[in-house]
Structure 1
Amino acid sequence: MRNPRSARPARRPRPSSSTGREGGGGAPAGSVWLFGTHAVAAALANPQRVFQRLLVAEPEHPALIAAREAGATLRIEPELTPRAKLDDMLGAEAVHQGVAALVKQLPNLSLDEALERPGPVLVLDQVTDPRNIGAILRSAAAFGAACLVVQDRNAPEETAVLAKAASGALETVPVVREVNLSRAIETLQKGGCWTVGLDAGGGLLDGPSFEGRRVALVLGAEGKGLRRLTRESCDEVAGLYMPGDMESLNVSVAAAVGLYELARVRMPSTYQPAATKKPT
């Protein structure tokens, strides 16, 4: 983004009986390995997730505890697996925190179905870094976005890295994959969304000015920004107010700032962050 100035108790895990190296945690087609406490706990709490394996380094792993506290019932028996084996399976760079799950990828949701959910919409134009997309999903969940729309051939598949960066948001914010982004923007407009390309060269994004409107924010890849056809498809182009010296923001940061700006119009006048609320 460029600066416009310029549940029930679980059974005790059974020891894993699998042998042999599973290089990089390679998953069969249509499946993906998830790892990390938040990602796995959120998947366990998602009834749409189909589990094939659940590996934990300790019987009462925090992911299992968090899932039960969220009201989830474990749908698969955990396998007690040494951390060294998880390292070997998932790779040395995987921050697995002692838990991994082999799951089926989530079913695709149509854009019309996603629009039945309340909240703003995020559209990504050729953003390819799974960590950025994961971070954007996390912000989308925090600010109550309805869905994330990506172009199918220019966006990464659901991966463990993406899910880890999303910190559980992959399970709560639908990712809608569209073949043609311009047609997707047209569908959003027909569905009642005012589409705003978040980029330099227009006005400034002012959340309260959209009161009464449902907004879809369209963000481009870092460096390249929005493609010409995508930009021209939007109802308007607006940038973020950045009075400092930096000329651009990471796309995931820009998404978070843009969503916060939109959230200002819905913020109750009596709102206080939980940490600062006064006792009654």
Structure 2
Amino acid sequence: MRYEEFVIEGRNAVLEALRSGKTVDKLFLLKGCQDGPILSIARQARKGDTLIQYVPRERLDQLSRTGKHQGVIAYAAAYEYSTVEDMLELAREKGEPPFLFLLDGIEDPHNLGAIIRTANLAGAHGVIIPKRRAAGLTAVVAKTSAGAINYTPVAKVTNLTAVMEELKKTGMWFVCADMGGDIMYDLDLTGPIGLVIGNEGEGVSRLVKERCDMIASIPMKGDIDSLNASVAAGVLAYEAVRQRLKK
């Protein structure tokens, strides 16, 4: 599968995709265009969870594969999103304490795919990603996940911190990977837990970090000071796996 297959161009094609219930991650509309079909498309998109961006014609021309965008280009999800409740239900069915990954702004689709793959192999019940400033479920993500996307639920949420607060009410607690924390080997990573992995460049945002119960640092002996986001997710996840197996 190529990512191009999930780029939809043209007014009728985009409107039909939205009406059919297809998950559209991003919608690019011609800035300043107020005609009927464009307004209809924007209205339909607002009923879902689509991020709408109004951009100049030059930007649409750059994004277009066909040269016939008619002022409208949509990026549709390659796979359907799940819900956080589905993940908790999956944990209940398996008789396991919930084990979730929360990704705070992972923008590289290769990193997202690799993390979904790791989450699957580590036995996690799902991956939660935010709506804004983050990669969605594109075909690149699907390919990098090596098929894991078919088995591991991924939920896209408007507000990561609000979801964390709700999950805390169910007894979950959260640990984020960050340089300034306790060595991960000294922390208890068993029980109902959410692993929070931050953005490739800036790490975990302040608001999300404040809602974490623990901060885990990964010991590093080299000359540089950080791991790739997907590698950090794997290292922390497998310390949790080790501890959970011992229990």
1:224-275, Cα deviation, whole Å (9 max, x unpaired)? 0111111101112111122333310000000010110000113369xxxxxx
Deviation at 1:191, TM superposition (A): 2.1
Separation of aligned partners in 2, 1:262 and 1:229 = 24
Matched, 1:124 2:124: no
- Give 1:248's aligned residue: 226
Alignment counterpart, residue 226 of structure 1, candidates 178, 195, 204: 204
Match of 2:88 among 112, 115, 123: 115
Gaps of 5+ in 2: 9-16, 25-64, 66-75, 92-97
Per the alignment, do residues 208 and 227 of structure 1 end up closer, same or farther by CA in structure 2, a change over 3 Å counting?
closer
Displacement of 1:116 = 1.9
**Within 5 A, what are the aligned runs for 1:158-173?**
158-173=137-152
- Aligned partner of 2:175 in structure 1 is 196
Amino acid of the residue matched to residue 227 of structure 1? S
Q: Which amino acid aligns with 1:133?
A: L
Is 1:267–2:245 an aligned residue pair? yes
Aligned length: 178
Q: Is the 8 A contact 1:206 1:262 kept in 2?
A: no
Return the offset for 1:115: 1.5
SS of the residue aligned with 1:219?
Answer: strand
Identity %: 37
- 1:224–1:27 distance in 2 versus 1, CA, 3 Å: closer
Task: Answer 1 or 2: higher relative contact order, Cα 8 Å, separation at least 6.
Answer: 1
Q: CA deviation at 1:186?
A: 1.0
TM-score (norm 1): 0.57
Structure 2 residue 120 is the aligned partner of structure 1 residue 141:
yes
Instruction: State the 1:128 CA deviation.
Output: 0.9
User: 1:127-181 CA deviation, whole Å, 9 max, x = no partner?
Assistant: 1111100000010111101110111122223211110100001111111111011
Is the contact made by 2:218 and 2:236 (CA closer than 8 Å) also made in structure 1?
A: yes
Greater helix percent: which structure?
2
- String of CA shifts for 1:97-137, please: whole Å, max 9, x gaps: xxxxxx98544322122122235210011111111000000
Q: Where does 1:1-280 land on structure 2 (aligned, <5 Å)?
A: 24-25=4-5, 27-28=7-8, 29=17, 30=22, 105-118=78-91, 119-206=98-185, 209-211=188-190, 213-267=191-245
Point out the structure with max Rg over C-alpha.
1
Q: Secondary structure at the match of 1:244?
A: coil
| TM-score, with length taken from structure 2 | 0.65
Which residue does the alignment assign to 2:61? Answer: none
